[in-house]
Amino acid sequence: MIFFFPTVMLLIVGWLIKYKKVTWLISGYNTAPREEKQKYDIEKLCKYMGNFIFVLASIFFVMAITSLLFNKNVDTITRFGFGVLIIVTVSGIVYLNTNNRVKK
């Protein structure tokens, strides 16, 4: 049940970034100088980060559903889920920062 809260919060943040282009929610971009910000394609950056956050939200959602269905194994579900979250997060950050994917 506790995994539903981060799911909802991530869905809201992902929606704000992807569809409303609320770039101040993107860490690093929000504090970058204006010259640095001009190097990035805002459309690509917001689309990628929004989708990335939706993937994280869906992992939390799967953790929430499986913890409700298999109540006795919540500890195992939590460990496995956070392991998947770490792998997806590291992979997503590496993917974003290689080959200038979101630069103009």
- What is the separation of C-alpha 84 from the centre of its chain, rounded to a whole number of angstroms? 13
Q: Are 55 and 18 in contact (CB under 8 A)?
A: no
pLDDT (mean) for 63-92: 94
More confident residue, 60 or 99: 60
Q: What angle do CA 91, 92, 96 make, to 5 degrees?
A: 120
- Judged against a pLDDT cut of 80, whether residue 1 lies above it is answered with no
pLDDT digits (tens, 9 = 90+) for 18-36: 999 999 998 888 899 999 8
